[in-house]
Chains A and B, each alone.
Chain A
Amino acid sequence: MATGTTFAHRHILGMEQLSREDIVHILATADSFKEISTRSIKKVPTLRGHTIINLFFEPSTRTRLSFEVAAKRMSADTFNISPSTSSTTKGETLADTARNISAMHPDIIIIRHSCSGAPLFLTRYVQAAVINAGDGAHEHPSQGLLDLMTVKEHRATLSGLKIAIVGDIAHSRVARSDIIGFTRMGSEVYIYGPATLIPKGINQLGATLCASLEDAVRDADVVMTLRIQRERQNDPLLPSLREYSRQFGISRHILSLARPDALVMHPGPVNRGVELPPEVADGPQSVILDQVTNGVAVRMALLYLVMGNS
């Protein structure tokens, strides 16, 4: 492809495994595929005859749809399975599910699972290439890549930028993939959120934890917000979403501390009025829908590259 680099990865399990060169290569590939989605006939024969299984153990609308659109635009045959994971209806184990799917000889399995490490686990039981579509609070590499792609489109570079990530870092796989991805490309990531939502040792991933929302956002090139949940499994994380929006939300005033042309991003789905007020979410600096568009291109690139390496 564009960079002439070879892509050495059989599976895409996380941003952690990707070098700077890998990321450049993936983004260049995605860039070349983006045009396909603007044609009147949005289909190329690249993956014709390949079988792709979307194995989604967690509810997902946009990520699953995005992978499916990507696969179909490449002419692959796609199948969606959404096994239940609730412990009360626990049936087959993941290992057995994997063995059964593998017996049908798919080429790629795209997995979303609430348990961190489940995609790696899957690789031990299947012949197919495995792409992580989000595992627990671990990683969401295709989201991280589409975020990189979106920023690169608007800034022309991914180095020397200040990226602010605000919100629930503790439970966010997007935060981990973004921190790894942006720092690997030479930008600096500043994070902020309520202390209840900041995991121990996050600085060891390469991010700088800020003392205030203002410190995080000041002079930022990108303001990324993450979805908030008030409570998880009886763990009282926040007293109210109302207070969150007033103390930690990205108001127009807070956004004015960032660079005038700062990008506002969110991996979605947005809690309107919580992480972002509507005037910011829909404002001129928001690139949230660009993220969605680029998601299809990035996923086309990942499907193409892992198949090229099989």
Chain B
Amino acid sequence: MNVSWHIRGGRIIDPANGIDRTADLLVLDGRIAGPAQPVPPGVAEIDAQGLWVVPGLTDMHVHLREPGEEYKEDILSGTRAAAAGGFTGVACMPNTRPVNDSATVTAMIVARAAAASARVYPVGAISLGSEGTHLAEFGEMRDAGIVAVSDDGRPVRDSQLMRRALEYASDFGLPIISHSEEAALSTGVMHEGPVATRLGLKGIPAAAEAIMVYREIALAELTGARVHIAHVSTAMAVDLIRTAKSRGVPVTAESAPHYFTLIDEAVSGYDTATKMNPPLRSAADREAIRQALADGTLDAVATDHAPHSILEKEVEFDLAANGIIGLETALPLTLALVRDHVIDERRLVELLAVNPAAILGLAAGTLSPGAAADITLIDPERRFVYTADQIVSKSRNTPFLDWTLQGRAVLTMVGGAIRHTLLAA
């Protein structure tokens, strides 16, 4: 496979190196070449005029469903969806069957990922089986390839266990990714508020998130260990994180495109593609998320890509599984924030590429000479209708079905190898 390219005339946006200019970019043998390096004869050209050339995007929060639920997604299909959406790397959550709570499962994922269309960074479980009682072996899993630990989907109830997990993870340089949710308050199926009342659906209050976010902040402050808050959905949580950061607590956080795009009103038709956890929140929450992405309170955009089949979704709203797919819609939905002047282009690249890589300690998110050539080419103007027949993921559970989206990854390159392209040959 050819892994040398001369990418001509694109707008290179590389925040890690303070670059935003129109220039050529040379890739040699799968790595970024220096600007002074001569172009060897025979290197294929890619015409990037009118396109943005950015470090490959990293989605730090996806569910690839393998092992155990391959009918929803697997490592190969999920990474094909990632590449189609412009992502060169994904961090996959451990709530598979079995749970990724051991080096054996991690090694299996890493082995399967050798043939994947994007880099796969496994996240190990905090507790055995994510049952919240015994710590998993972080060191063994790190040696097998995990980049973080999380009991995503099964929030850690026991505060002492969380404290010990933070302390122990810091021994291995692993961040803890917290699904912050107070379980006793979270027995509902959508955001608690007037819309839930009108629909007669049981609510999940914003306080359920805020209480646990504050616990994680307090424990990070106590232990000095790093904590990363997953899928922030509420203004209350944003305020807590902002205040914590201002006093130097080692906390980072992400939100997902659906939280800065949709609100609870979208649930009105009982469409199970609008059911996720945390739930779609109020308009005020959405505004707070948008501001927090702009001002640095939130560090990353991650999709929480959660494939489910019609078995889990073609049912009554109360009975439907939580989650939506997101890899193929994240970039255009984030580009909408640029068009709305909420963030600028540089900030978009930070949120989708630079910061997720930094939080997970990955050698990615940069176009520095010598770095692996993980590159995404974006056409910010290109419009497309996201129809069911063009979904790359195995599952179709998305509230953005048939939306007209603007801005798209037109080429995704991993280590110099093209994994997705919409450009003419």
A interface residues, Cβ below 8 angstroms from B: 16, 93-95, 113-118, 120-121, 135-139, 173, 176, 199-202, 204-205, 233, 235
Chain A residues whose C-beta falls within 8 Å of the C-beta of B198 in the assembled complex: 16, 176, 201, 204-205
Chain B residues whose C-beta falls within 8 Å of the C-beta of A176 in the assembled complex: 198, 200
B196 in contact with A199 (CB, 8 Å):
yes
Q: Which of B172-206 contact A (CB under 8 A)?
A: 187, 192-203
B196 in contact with A200 (CB, 8 Å):
yes
At the interface with chain A, which of B87-95, B313-321, B381-389? B313-321
6 A-B pairs whose Cβ atoms sit less than 8 Å apart in the complex: A93-B314, A93-B315, A121-B316, A173-B200, A202-B197, A205-B194
> B18: CB under 8 A from chain A?
no
Closest CB of chain A to B357's CB: distance in Å? 40
Smallest CB gap from A118: residue in B = B316
Q: Which of B193, B201, B315 contacts A201 (CB 8 A)?
A: B193
B194 in contact with A200 (CB, 8 Å):
yes
Chain A residues whose C-beta falls within 8 Å of the C-beta of B200 in the assembled complex: 116-117, 135-139, 173, 176
> B270: CB under 8 A from chain A?
yes
Determine the distance from Cα of A136 to Cα of B190 in the docked complex, in whole angstroms: 14
Q: A117-B270, A199-B197 are in contact. Are A95 and B315 (CB under 8 A)?
A: yes
Smallest CB gap from B200: residue in A = A138
Closest CB of chain A to B334's CB: distance in Å? 30
Chain B residues whose C-beta falls within 8 Å of the C-beta of A113 in the assembled complex: 316
Q: Which of B195, B269, B314 has the most CB of A within 10 A?
A: B314
Determine the distance from Cα of A115 to Cα of B272 in the docked complex, in whole angstroms: 13
B187 in contact with A235 (CB, 8 Å):
yes
Closest CB of chain B to A93's CB: distance in Å? 6
Q: Which of B197, B201, B315, B317 has the most CB of A within 10 A?
A: B197
Determine the distance from Cα of A113 to Cα of B270 in the docked complex, in whole angstroms: 14
A120 in contact with B318 (CB, 8 Å):
no
Chain B residues whose C-beta falls within 8 Å of the C-beta of A93 in the assembled complex: 314-315
Chain B residues whose C-beta falls within 8 Å of the C-beta of A116 in the assembled complex: 199-201, 270, 317-318
Determine the distance from Cα of A139 to Cα of B197 in the docked complex, in whole angstroms: 11
Determine the distance from Cα of A191 to Cα of B193 in the docked complex, in whole angstroms: 17
Determine the distance from Cα of A137 to Cα of B203 in the docked complex, in whole angstroms: 12
B270 in contact with A205 (CB, 8 Å):
no
Q: Which of B187, B194, B203, B316 contacts A233 (CB 8 A)?
A: B187
Can you list, as one digit per residue, whether each of B69-104 has a CB less than 8 Å from chain A (1) or not (0)?
000000000000000000000000000000000000
Determine the distance from Cα of A93 to Cα of B272 in the docked complex, in whole angstroms: 15
Q: Which of B188-246 contact A (CB under 8 A)?
A: 192-203
Known contacts A115-B317, A176-B198, A200-B203; 16 additional CB pairs below 8 A are A93-B315, A94-B315, A116-B200, A116-B201, A120-B269, A120-B270, A138-B199, A199-B196, A199-B203, A200-B193, A201-B193, A201-B197, A202-B197, A204-B194, A233-B187, A235-B187
Chain B residues whose C-beta falls within 8 Å of the C-beta of A16 in the assembled complex: 198
Chain B residues whose C-beta falls within 8 Å of the C-beta of A135 in the assembled complex: 200
Determine the distance from Cα of A90 to Cα of B276 in the docked complex, in whole angstroms: 23
B199 in contact with A205 (CB, 8 Å):
no
Smallest CB gap from B194: residue in A = A201
Smallest CB gap from A173: residue in B = B200
Q: Which of B296-351 contact A (CB under 8 A)?
A: 314-319
Smallest CB gap from B191: residue in A = A200
A94 in contact with B316 (CB, 8 Å):
yes
A200 in contact with B318 (CB, 8 Å):
no
Smallest CB gap from A93: residue in B = B315
Closest CB of chain B to A83's CB: distance in Å? 13
Chain B residues whose C-beta falls within 8 Å of the C-beta of A235 in the assembled complex: 187
Q: Which of A113, A114, A116, A202 has the most CB of B within 10 A?
A: A116
Chain A residues whose C-beta falls within 8 Å of the C-beta of B319 in the assembled complex: 115
Determine the distance from Cα of A117 to Cα of B314 in the docked complex, in whole angstroms: 13
Determine the distance from Cα of A269 to Cα of B67 in the docked complex, in whole angstroms: 50
B197 in contact with A205 (CB, 8 Å):
yes
Determine the distance from Cα of A117 to Cα of B198 in the docked complex, in whole angstroms: 11
Closest CB of chain A to B281's CB: distance in Å? 13
Determine the distance from Cα of A120 to Cα of B199 in the docked complex, in whole angstroms: 12
Closest CB of chain B to A282's CB: distance in Å? 31
Closest CB of chain B to A120's CB: distance in Å? 6
Chain A residues whose C-beta falls within 8 Å of the C-beta of B197 in the assembled complex: 199-202, 204-205
Closest CB of chain A to B43's CB: distance in Å? 55
Q: Which of B192, B199, B269, B314 contacts A200 (CB 8 A)?
A: B192
Closest CB of chain A to B208's CB: distance in Å? 13
Determine the distance from Cα of A138 to Cα of B318 in the docked complex, in whole angstroms: 12
Smallest CB gap from B317: residue in A = A117
Determine the distance from Cα of A235 to Cα of B192 in the docked complex, in whole angstroms: 16
B201 in contact with A136 (CB, 8 Å):
yes
A95 in contact with B187 (CB, 8 Å):
no
Determine the distance from Cα of A107 to Cα of B394 in the docked complex, in whole angstroms: 37
Q: Which of B238-292 contact A (CB under 8 A)?
A: 269-270
Determine the distance from Cα of A135 to Cα of B201 in the docked complex, in whole angstroms: 10
Chain A residues whose C-beta falls within 8 Å of the C-beta of B315 in the assembled complex: 93-95
Closest CB of chain A to B270's CB: distance in Å? 3
Q: Which of B187, B203, B314, B318 contacts A115 (CB 8 A)?
A: B318
A117 in contact with B203 (CB, 8 Å):
no
Chain B residues whose C-beta falls within 8 Å of the C-beta of A95 in the assembled complex: 314-315
Chain A residues whose C-beta falls within 8 Å of the C-beta of B318 in the assembled complex: 114-116, 136
Determine the distance from Cα of A135 to Cα of B317 in the docked complex, in whole angstroms: 12
Smallest CB gap from A122: residue in B = B316
Closest CB of chain A to B205's CB: distance in Å? 8
Q: Which of A118, A199, A205, A233 has the most CB of B within 10 A?
A: A199
Chain A residues whose C-beta falls within 8 Å of the C-beta of B192 in the assembled complex: 200
Closest CB of chain A to B192's CB: distance in Å? 5
Chain B residues whose C-beta falls within 8 Å of the C-beta of A136 in the assembled complex: 200-201, 318
Chain A residues whose C-beta falls within 8 Å of the C-beta of B270 in the assembled complex: 116-117, 120-121
